[in-house]
Amino acid sequence: MIKKLTDIAQEAGRIVLSIYNKSSFQVMNKEDNSALTEADVASHAFICDSLKKFYPDIPIISEESVKQQDYETRKKWEYFFLVDPLDGTKEFIKRNGEFTINIALVKGDKPIMGVIHAPVLDITYYAEENKGAHKMSQNKIIQLTKRSKSDNKICVVTSRSHPCSKTQAFLDDLVSQGKDIRVTTIGSALKFGLIAEGNADIYPRLAPTMEWDTAAGQIIVKETGKRLTVAGCDECLKYNKTELVNPGFIVQ
């Protein structure tokens, strides 16, 4: 299945790129006033149609679904897909290349398979529970493993387009502890990729996110020996919650 999910994400990436490379593209506003482009819509349609074709018995939750299933229905699911057809819509609109396609398979309340594909960068991260995490780029595949640090500097990766006061307070606290930190900002689920590769040490996200933003990244970092935990406690982030909004979390 992971090969099929990777293929679907990469083909969705080609669809998104064809729109990204146009001289102009349509941008709309959703009910919550967040941006929606024709690429979000096209990627959603392709991914959901593909998943329904190959896995007709597995429900899908996508960011761009017109209506999400109610919790009374969802809580009975053993498996389901979580899809973000275009993570980093703001980055897409800015044309800085920092956007991804995210697909995860969730069993119960935890992701067991995930793909993050960055079309402009030609990078795909993917992982399957107990089978490791991998990075595919320029037709080469490498396994991602936990790397030992060669210095005391802590590389912190934060959101490019969603700064928040709580995250800044977290950074200030690290500095007050005498930590030598370097902060990098980047869009979308690419932050999980930096953690998985060992190119970043901590990713604090204390502003709201949704389950489809994090599921694929969570299993990918987990398979490299890192953890995504709820801020302020040692519990892993769980899925198929009553509300699909995530609490603040720390990846390290």
Residue pLDDT, tens place only, 1-11 = 999 999 999 99
Closest CA to 81 of 102, 45, 65, 105: 105
Q: Which amino acid is at 105?
A: L
pTM, two decimal places: 0.94
The residue-averaged pLDDT of 155-183 equals 86
Q: Where in the chain is the domain with CATH 3.30.540.10?
A: 2-144
- In this prediction, residue 29 carries a pLDDT of 87
The mean pLDDT value of the chain amounts to 93
The residue-averaged pLDDT of 89-106 equals 96
Confidence of residue 150 (pLDDT cuts 50, 70, 90): low
- In this prediction, residue 124 carries a pLDDT of 98
DSSP 59: -
Q: Where in the chain is the domain with CATH 3.40.190.80?
A: 154-251
Query: Quick one: fold of 2-144?
Result: Fructose-1,6-Bisphosphatase; Chain A, domain 1 (3.30.540)
Task: Identify the burial level of 164 via C-beta atoms within 10 angstroms of its C-beta, where 0-12 means exposed, 13-18 middle and 19 or more buried.
Answer: middle
Confidence of residue 31 (pLDDT cuts 50, 70, 90): confident
| Cα separation, 98 vs 163, whole angstroms | 16
From residue 250, how far is each of 45, 50, 134, 234 by CA, in Å? 32, 33, 22, 10
| Cα separation, 156 vs 195, whole angstroms | 9
Q: Is the pLDDT of residue 174 over 80?
A: yes
Query: Quick one: fold of 154-251?
Result: D-Maltodextrin-Binding Protein; domain 2 (3.40.190)
